[in-house]
Chains A and B, each alone.
Chain A
Amino acid sequence: MSQSGVDVSPECVSTFNELKLNKKIKFIIFKLTDDYKEIVVEEASENGDWDYFREKLLNAESKSKNGKVGKGPRYAVYDFNYDLASGEGTRSKITFIAWSPDDAGIQPKMVYASSKDALKRSLNGLATEFQANDTDDIEYQSVLAKVSKGLA
């Protein structure tokens, strides 16, 4: 359980295991249900195009307490592949991303941040993770540098 008491639905784990094992799924986006009770899978995609994925995050929405729809945080797992600059082949890193745009409402930001540990702990086999809060943070080049620790 997380610090907010929010739970992780079993499909989060099974979808993640599918991504990990049969390598067809390229990314998964997780969201909190509208009643903030549970973390569920919003989308599992076989499209590995980073910008396609990035757009999904940028367009994510959340409903605030008073019903107003605004920018929304999400969690995501992305099967990130890159070539080593040294020419020693390619690497694959299953990356966890906590996306919380700075201009999202304070309520969704709070609930996502305080529930994150539960999801992360239930996904075994993450190679790396980062938090992202604005469009720059999920720019391909900056992510590549982060995930590869500058070795791409």
Chain B
Amino acid sequence: MASSQPLTSSVQPTDVYGGDEVSAIILDPGYSSVRAGFAGEDAPKSFISSYYGFHNDRQIFGDDDTHNPLPGMEIRNPMSKDGVVEDWDVAKSLWHYSITSRLVPMKQTDPRTNGLNDDTKDMDVEMEGTEEEEKPLEEHPLLMTETAWNPSKNREKSIEIAMEEWGCPAFWLQRNSVLAAFAAGKATALVVDVGATITSVVCIHDGLILKKSIQKSPLAGNWVSSQIRALWNTSEPKIDLIPHFMIAAKTPVDAGAPAQATYQKFENITDSFRTREEERVLTEFKESVVQVWPGPGRLSSPNPAGTTNVDYVKAQPGRVFEFPNGANQMWNVERMNVVEGLWDEKAAIPIPGEPAVTKGQTIPEMIKASVNAVDMDLRAALLQNVVVTGGTTLINGFTDRLNQELLNMYPGTRIKINAAGLTTERRFGSWIGGSILGSLGTFHQMWISKKEYEEFGAGVVEKRCK
């Protein structure tokens, strides 16, 4: 009976992966979001928040449910502030969700087609084994991205999950900074990635990360949000940060006038939920109002007119921001103050209870330290191939300022910055790079196959994925 069944792709010889028959899945996890999709596509089909809800011992994933003010629901994140996985059980479920909710259905292996060459006696055993197992990726090779500093035990854990729990026929790990450099057309590059929780600078030579050059700092998107929070806390009058979900109704008011809104009351809203909802408002401000002083010089520098750049900016038109409750206000030089600390530690707004920003954490100093850690002969090439990636680099003026800072730091040196003009390429550079690699016919030679994994164990990633 079984032998008359046609071959399904799950039982075909494994060398078809990498061909056109089955698409690989590309998984690019970050602190703020998980990006997942099929190789060969232009953008990740699945884009979900890395924050999850924790309620009555249950994990809740996805944007709809985690933004729902459920009494007692905590909001957490499985990633560490260092941008690597901290809570594996949750990370695994989150990634599984990101894949199965948008890409492949959860499926059970059909025992009749599964035990193709087995005789009936063995088949009964098989059926018992397969019934409880859901291996969603049995047909899909998985390419995962990772940070340059991902520890080896995390790398091994990734392949274990892919192979043991998801049943992937093949696996590959690729550094996200290398993918971003490749996608910019460069095998040698200095990659500046400003994400949500971490900013990194990494030098890459001929497709390989130069370990000594890795620089990391917490001054990234979330830090900018906390700068905005500090700004609002110290505004006169202090700005109450009331998130969208608490607003029942609002009427438009003039700039600077008190809000005219009615508020909704909720029982037992956790601090972590409220903080994340506040974060949404801070993000709106960040994306629509905040701007980096583009240079030349720093915001506090004197300018040719005999004043400082601050005075210059103050004389320019500001930008209005409307809060969820309808109150709205004009923002002038303040919208630059909240990101000036990325470049100039003295300009950072102090955050109560947090250590002061150090010079070494600013982007220009990180680049300097990174470049100084590599061979002299390479430095000029790196400075001519600066690749900018990560969501926070989309803040207006970011690239101009970076250019000015580099010109200032390396006078007489040719500086060239590559920043993808398309927002999707800037935010999803690593994912897109993985998507192109994973769709290449020749890439089937790269994948670590299930057989290889079974033979050499999880340590094979260290050997194969450099």
Enumerate chain A interface residues (CB-CB to B < 8 A).
Answer: 1-7, 35-37, 65, 73, 98, 100-102, 104, 106-107, 109-114, 116-117, 120, 130-131, 133, 137, 142, 146
Contact = CB atoms under 8 A, between A and B. Distances in A.
Contacts, number: 90
A90 B183 CA distance: 38
Contact of B446 (A3, A35, A109): A3
Contact of A4 (B185, B188, B380, B442): B442
Contacts of A6: 440, 442
Q: Give the 8 A-B residue pairs with the shortest CB-CB distance, closest first.
A: A100-B185, A109-B185, A5-B442, A113-B182, A5-B445, A110-B436, A116-B187, A114-B182
Given A3-B207, A37-B442, A133 B187 contact: no
A41 B416 CA distance: 30
B443 interface: yes
A5 B440 contact: yes
B385 interface: yes
B428 to A, nearest CB: 11
Contacts of B181: 113
Contacts of B173: none
A101 B186 CA distance: 10
B381 interface: yes
15 contacts: A3-B446, A4-B446, A5-B440, A6-B442, A7-B442, A65-B40, A100-B185, A100-B186, A106-B432, A116-B187, A117-B207, A130-B381, A131-B187, A131-B188, A133-B185
Contact of B185 (A35, A36, A112): A112
B188 to A, nearest CB: 6
A3 B446 CA distance: 7
How many residues of B sit at the interface, in one of the four size bands? 20 to 34
A25 to B, nearest CB: 24
Contacts of A107: 436
B2 to A, nearest CB: 35
Contacts of A133: 185-186, 385, 416, 418
A120 to B, nearest CB: 7
A20 B188 CA distance: 25
Contacts of A36: 440-442
B433 interface: yes
B178 to A, nearest CB: 8
A73 B185 contact: yes
A1 B445 CA distance: 9
Given A106-B183, A109-B185, A133-B418, 9 more contacts: A2-B207, A3-B437, A5-B445, A35-B441, A36-B442, A110-B436, A131-B381, A133-B416, A137-B384
Interface in B425-445: 425, 432-433, 436-437, 440-445
A130 B183 CA distance: 18
B164 interface: no
A4 B181 CA distance: 14
Nearest to A132: B384
Contacts of A98: 187
B418 A117 contact: no
A124 to B, nearest CB: 15
A114 B437 contact: yes
A37 to B, nearest CB: 6
A101 to B, nearest CB: 8
B137 interface: no
Interface string B14-53: 0000000000000000000000000010000000000000
